[in-house]
């Protein structure tokens, strides 16, 4: 797969995770752990697409802080991106427990809206995505 195709595939997968989240708004059907996993995956794949679009190898990790640090190393202003690190535990730890150790349930609609904005922002920074 070419670099451009890889970027597009990663970003398409990020959008698919976001789309899945919209169908998981009922906490009686989907635990926070399941919803949070897709939130984390949408952010992770979006950030990896951004890194790959710079023709840089991204680390094979679920740790969002490592991805944000990689973007910072490439000169990207990452101030607002650090907030997404809070989703990292949903990638692994929360997948193997019934719930999670959060004090409050996830604000699902807020997360959907924020991730939509993040992916829109990333897409605006990657010219090859708008030429599809």
Q: What are the extents of the domains in the chain? A: 3-129
pLDDT at 104: 82
pLDDT at 100 over 60: no
pTM above 0.95, yes or no: no
pLDDT, mean of residues 91-105: 68
Give 37-69 pLDDT, tens digit per residue: 999 999 999 999 999 999 999 999 999 999 999
List of long-range contacts for 115-124, beta carbons under 8 Å, 24+ apart: 115/18, 115/21, 115/39, 115/42, 115/43, 115/46, 116/18, 118/43, 118/46, 118/84, 119/11, 119/14, 119/15, 119/18, 119/42, 119/46, 122/11, 122/46, 122/47, 122/49, 122/50, 123/11
Round the average pLDDT of the chain to a whole number and report it.
92
CATH class of 3-129: mainly alpha
pLDDT, mean of residues 67-83: 97
């Amino acid at each position: 797969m070419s670099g451009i195709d890889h970027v597009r595939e990663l970003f398409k997968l990020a959008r698919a995770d976001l789309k899945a989240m919209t169908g998981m708004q009922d906490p009686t059907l989907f635990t926070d752990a399941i919803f949070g996993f897709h939130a984390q995956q949408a952010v992770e794949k979006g950030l990896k697409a951004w890194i790959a679009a710079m023709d840089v190898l991204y680390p094979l990790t679920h740790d969002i802080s490592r991805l944000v640090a990689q973007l910072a190393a490439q000169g990207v202003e990452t101030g607002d991106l650090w907030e997404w690190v809070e989703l990292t535990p949903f990638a692994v730890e929360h997948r193997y427990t019934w719930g999670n150790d959060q004090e409050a349930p996830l604000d699902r609609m807020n997360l959907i809206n924020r991730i939509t904005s993040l992916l829109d922002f990333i897409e605006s920074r990657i010219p090859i995505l708008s030429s599809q």
